[in-house]
């Protein structure tokens, strides 16, 4: 073929000869039409049988919106009067990182060891997943890895096996993405060969990741609220004790005429007044801190959840036709290449 093109460029071959050679090639391929059609038919039938015997695929998708909480610097200034820092939480977990969090091993492990109801029985999701992979289940069962019992009681082999499962899920089955970069909608999708696992995995993954995200984002403010609450409780207890002591001193000095004898009672009264003022300020700051924590807490709203049936019905006609075309095309290439090689060998033999 290359020699023919070079001859055509140099003018050593005419258009008539090129036409004759092309017509000869088509005639040769026409003679092999049964081979071409037969191989294409075999490719198509083989692909159809493969597609027919494949396990059914299931697709579950959940969509939620994420609204980040705001912080109020004015509120934190009041709490700083008592040496408390009312920060804005952990800035390292932004909205985009929530999607990466859903693919972390920590979250996926927790989800895989969640129990779900199956025909009035409880089953761990990881056992349900491995059960759909027959070859893997048999292999792991023979070496004592499968079935799994609990996340807190894992052998080294089971820990390694979980790593394989997490990698398989994140690379082949799980997809987390934003619907639109301008919107705050996030979709969590999972594909698999078991409808129950696919649906529950998506729902549990979204719930666990959201809870962890909210807890981490508000951890700093929650810690400060707890500090303030402990101070309020402590001052309240001291105030109660001071009021009791003041009342007792008042009863003792009821019939006292000398002013000096009333000094201890006046000191207790002063202590009650100071503790009352401190208690009022602490309660005010505690309520403001709770308000600030509520404002900082991200709001995650589930919009769409997966519903049965989840089965994905793929067309078998498209891959069958493509395979048949590919088989016919490869057969044409094979016979065409063989014809060109045979022609070149014949020319070389004639030259010699």
pLDDT digits (tens, 9 = 90+) for 216-253: 888 888 888 889 899 999 989 988 888 888 787 776 66
pLDDT digits 0-9 by tens, 13-25: 566 666 776 777 7
Domain-located, residue 151: yes
Say whether both 158 and 305 belong to one domain: yes
- Closest by alpha carbon to 205, among 125, 107, 128? 107
pLDDT digits 0-9 by tens, 301-333: 888 888 887 777 666 677 788 888 888 888 888
Distances (CA, A) of 28 to 249, 309, 329: 123, 53, 15
Say whether both 196 and 66 belong to one domain: yes
CB 169 within 8 A of CB 204: no
What pLDDT score does 351 carry?
60
CB 63 within 8 A of CB 185: yes
Domain-located, residue 76: no
Residue 338's pLDDT band (cuts 50, 70, 90): confident
Least confident span in 134-138, 168-172, 205-209:
134-138
Say whether both 23 and 135 belong to one domain: no
Between 45 and 191, the higher pLDDT residue = 191
Could you tell me the pTM of the whole model?
Answer: 0.65
pLDDT digits 0-9 by tens, 112-143: 999 988 888 889 999 999 988 888 889 999 89
Q: Tell me what the mean pLDDT of segment 193-204 comes to.
A: 92
Percent of all residues in the chain with a pLDDT value above 90, rounded to a whole number: 19
pLDDT digits 0-9 by tens, 143-153: 989 989 888 88
Q: How many domains does the chain fold into?
A: 3
- Closest by alpha carbon to 290, among 206, 217, 209, 229? 229
CB 203 within 8 A of CB 66: no
Say whether both 151 and 276 belong to one domain: no
Domain-located, residue 207: yes
What pLDDT score does 124 carry?
92
Q: Which single residue is written with the structure tokens 């909205």?
A: 95
Least confident span in 82-86, 160-164, 266-270, 280-284:
82-86
Residue 259 pLDDT > 80: no
Per DSSP bridges, beta strands 57-67 and 311-312 are: antiparallel
Domain-located, residue 256: yes
Encoded tokens for 287: 């309520």
Say whether both 46 and 169 belong to one domain: no
What pLDDT score does 72 carry?
46
Domain-located, residue 20: yes
Say whether both 190 and 230 belong to one domain: no
Per DSSP bridges, beta strands 185-192 and 174-178 are: antiparallel
Say whether both 180 and 61 belong to one domain: yes
Q: Tell me what the mean pLDDT of segment 254-273 comes to.
A: 68
Say whether both 48 and 108 belong to one domain: no
Say whether both 211 and 156 belong to one domain: yes
Domain-located, residue 284: yes
Say whether both 27 and 66 belong to one domain: no
Q: How far apart are CA 276 and CA 283, in angstroms?
A: 11
Sign for the pseudo-dihedral over CA of 241, 242, 244, 248: positive
Say whether both 158 and 306 belong to one domain: yes
Residue 258 pLDDT > 70: no
Residue range(s) defining the domain that contains residue 324: 2-54+314-351
Say whether both 126 and 207 belong to one domain: yes
């Amino acid at each position: 073929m290359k020699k023919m093109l070079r001859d055509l460029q140099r003018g050593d071959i005419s258009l008539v000869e090129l036409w004759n050679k092309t017509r000869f090639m088509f005639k040769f391929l026409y003679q092999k039409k049964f081979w071409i059609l037969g191989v294409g038919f075999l490719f198509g039938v083989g692909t159809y049988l493969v597609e027919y015997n494949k396990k059914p695929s299931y697709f579950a998708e959940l969509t939620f919106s994420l609204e980040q909480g705001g912080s109020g610097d004015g509120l934190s200034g009041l709490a700083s009067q008592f040496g408390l820092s009312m920060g804005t939480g952990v800035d390292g977990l932004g909205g985009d990182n929530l999607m990466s969090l859903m693919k972390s091993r920590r979250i996926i492990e927790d989800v895989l060891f969640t129990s779900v109801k199956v025909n009035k029985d409880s089953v761990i999701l990881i056992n349900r997943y491995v059960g759909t992979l027959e070859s893997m289940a048999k292999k792991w069962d023979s070496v004592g890895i499968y079935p799994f019992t609990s996340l807190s009681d894992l052998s080294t082999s089971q820990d390694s096996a979980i790593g394989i499962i997490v990698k398989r899920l994140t690379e082949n089955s799980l997809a987390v993405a934003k619907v639109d970069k301008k919107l705050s909608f996030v979709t969590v999708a999972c594909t698999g060969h078991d409808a129950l696992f696919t649906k529950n995995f998506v729902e549990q993954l979204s719930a666990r990741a959201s809870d962890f995200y909210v807890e981490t984002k508000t951890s700093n403010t929650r810690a400060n609220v707890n500090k303030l609450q402990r101070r309020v409780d402590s001052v309240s207890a001291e105030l109660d004790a001071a009021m009791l002591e003041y009342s007792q001193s008042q009863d003792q000095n009821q019939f006292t005429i000398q002013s000096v004898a009333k000094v201890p009672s006046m000191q207790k009264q002063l202590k009650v007044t100071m503790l009352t003022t401190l208690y009022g300020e602490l309660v005010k700051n505690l309520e403001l801190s709770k308000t600030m924590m509520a404002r900082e807490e991200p709001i995650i709203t589930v919009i769409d959840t997966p519903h049965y049936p989840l089965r994905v019905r793929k067309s078998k006609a498209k891959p069958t036709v493509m395979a048949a075309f590919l088989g016919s095309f490869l057969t044409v290439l094979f016979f065409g290449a063989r014809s060109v090689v045979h022609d070149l060998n014949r020319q070389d033999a004639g030259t010699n």
